[in-house]
Structure 1
Amino acid sequence: MLNSGNCTNCTTCGSCQQTPNVDTPNLFCMHCEPSEAPCLKACSEEAIEVLGGAITINGEKCNKCGDCVEVCPINVIKI
């Protein structure tokens, strides 16, 4: 599991990956347990999904409201 205190958002460890400043948010994060992920709970569009144990954003469902960004404990979600 990722030690968020050491995270520099470099995307090289494979625990979290994001592509900032894109039209469709992209995320592959394994920091939080899916059952406890604040972003998953905050998304009213159900655009945050679990894929193989990782948390992902379904770009087709995402309305870019930013609710997930506000609750992410390690600030990896960029919209």
Structure 2
Amino acid sequence: MYKSGNCTECTTCGSCQQTPNVDTPILFCMHCQPSEAPCLLACSENAIEVLGGAITINGEKCTKCGDCVEVCPINVIKI
């Protein structure tokens, strides 16, 4: 259940007002194992990182090329 005070802006529940074309790409995903994550392997800028077991996008490194979006098996990456 969505509670606005608990929102982490992960965009997975669909209840927040996050827009698909944000300035900083957002991702906090635990679907794939980091060693097998297609997005992590596809990123030529090494902008996709593992943080506490979750796969995240480092907005400072990301060039918004979209390679990670194309390979995401569950379509959660928005750029």
Q: TM-score scaled by structure 1? A: 0.77
In proportion to residue count, which structure has more strand? 1
Distance 2:71 2:12 in 1: 20
Instruction: Give the aligned partner of residue 48 of structure 1.
Output: 48
Q: Which digits, 9 at most, give the CA deviation of each residue in 1:19-55, with x for residues without a partner? A: 4221110110000000000000000000000000000
- Does residue 1:61 correspond to 2:72, yes or no? no
Q: Secondary structure at the match of 1:31?
A: coil
State the alpha-carbon separation in 1 of the partners of residues 27 and 68 from structure 2.
11
Gaps of 5+ in 2: 1-10
Instruction: Give % identity.
Output: 88
User: Equivalents in 1 of 2:32, 2:43: separation in Å?
Assistant: 15
Report the number of matched residues. 64
The one-letter code of the counterpart of 1:72 is: C
Divergent runs of 4+, >6 A: none
State the distance in 1 between where 2:43 and 2:37 align.
Answer: 11
- Structure 2 equivalent of residue 25 of structure 1: 25
> 1:46-70 CA deviation, whole Å, 9 max, x = no partner?
0000000000000000000000000
**CA-CA distance at 1:11 after TM superposition:** 2.0
State the TM-score, normalized to the length of structure 2: 0.77
- Tell me the residue number matched to 2:7: none
